[in-house]
Amino acid sequence: MKILFFGSDNFAIASLKLLSQKKQDISIIGVVTKPDRKKGRGLKVIPLEIKTVALELGINVYQPEKLKDEAISYIKSLAPELIVVVAYGGILPKKILEIPTRGCVNLHSSLLPQLRGAGAITYSITRGYTHTGVTTMYMNEAMDAGDIISQKKVEIKPEDTAGTLREKLSKEGAELLYYTLQNIKENKVVATRQDDSKVTYAPLLKKEDGLIDWDKSAEEIFNLVRGLNPWPSAYTHLNGKMFKIHKAQILQLGDAKTNSGEIIEVDKNNLVVATGEGDLSLLEVQIEGKRKMSIQDFLQGHKLEKGMRFSE
């Protein structure tokens, strides 16, 4: 099958690499990705990592600013049998969806219809899920609303962060995508409509989503810390400075307290904060203007006392 691959985020790299190895079944005729952007203090143009990977694999890369007339004409000229979309970062217009003879397939990082949207991995952790998964579906004009082809369930472990879960899902997703494409090639697919009554959403994250509400339970804050690691990070404020929490541990789930956000235990190795329900031990932190460090290293250079409070 002649496949045109759409992907911009690093989540798509595992799928691109795996499909590129299956030359007996698949011919990737090109990769469509977002334009390179200026980054850093010097505003240097940095190529997307998936672009670098594609070129190393000998695959042509196309980077349109918008999926409009010129892009549509170019994609038509490639005559793909199938379009595959993995973390592209935009909705394909109807004119592109209609181009491939075998349709357009998307790999999504949740068990649809749960968690439609770009924040699916993060929200699966912050909402306390113990399982999530990956889904392949035929695409339509709505976001993540197409008919489901295949799914695979993946466990979320207590130690998982958005970063570690993302890595697991990218690998499982690549395998599921290849399995899906084999079934499409052999005309074995029986797609299923999504149940609209079970739809939930996971919108694109913003930095302010990381602000900690200490009146919430230790478990909720623990999940927020994990779900926003590595980006955008859970944060609070201490003495007027932003204070990021990268890793924490629940100590207990006791009765509700009136001193949420208060430091209730501190020594050279431990920093424990009261929450609305239970206590939270901070393990890896970063105060504004400094690097990320273990709590032991942080406490060596910062004098904190019982009774001090973190604030919103």
Domain with CATH 3.40.50.170 in the chain: 2-198
User: What percentage of the chain reaches a pLDDT higher than 70?
Assistant: 98
Rounded average pLDDT over 159-173 = 98
Higher per-residue confidence, 254 vs 221: 221
pLDDT at 254: 54
**Is the per-residue pLDDT at 32 higher than 80?**
yes
Ramachandran quadrant class, 51 (left: phi over 0; alpha: psi -120 to 50; beta: rest):
alpha
What CATH class does 207-301 carry? Answer: alpha beta
pTM, to two decimals: 0.95
Read off the pLDDT of residues 204-225 as tens digits, 9 standing for 90 and up.
Answer: 999 999 999 999 999 999 999 9
**Is the per-residue pLDDT at 41 higher than 80?**
no
Cα(226)–Cα(27) distance, integer angstroms: 38
Which option is the CATH number for 2-198: 3.40.50.170, 3.30.1330.80, 3.10.129.10, 3.40.50.720? 3.40.50.170
Q: Comparing C-alpha atoms, which of 178, 295, 280 is closest to residue 219? A: 280
pLDDT at 44: 86
**Is the per-residue pLDDT at 22 higher than 80?**
yes
Domain with CATH 3.10.25.10 in the chain: 207-301
Q: What's the mean pLDDT when you consider all of the chain?
A: 95
pLDDT at 43: 79
Cα(220)–Cα(156) distance, integer angstroms: 15
pLDDT at 257: 57
**Is the per-residue pLDDT at 256 higher than 60?**
no
DSSP state of 307: T
Confidence of residue 25 (pLDDT cuts 50, 70, 90): confident
Rounded average pLDDT over 70-93 = 97
Please list, in sequence order, all residues whose beta carbon lies within 8 angstroms of the beta carbon of residue 136, skipping any fewer than 6 positions away: 105, 106, 107, 108, 148, 149, 150, 151, 176, 177, 180
Type of residue at 65:
E
User: What percentage of the chain reaches a pLDDT higher than 90?
Assistant: 92
**Is the per-residue pLDDT at 239 higher than 70?**
yes
Sign of dihedral through CA atoms 159, 164, 169, 171?
Answer: negative
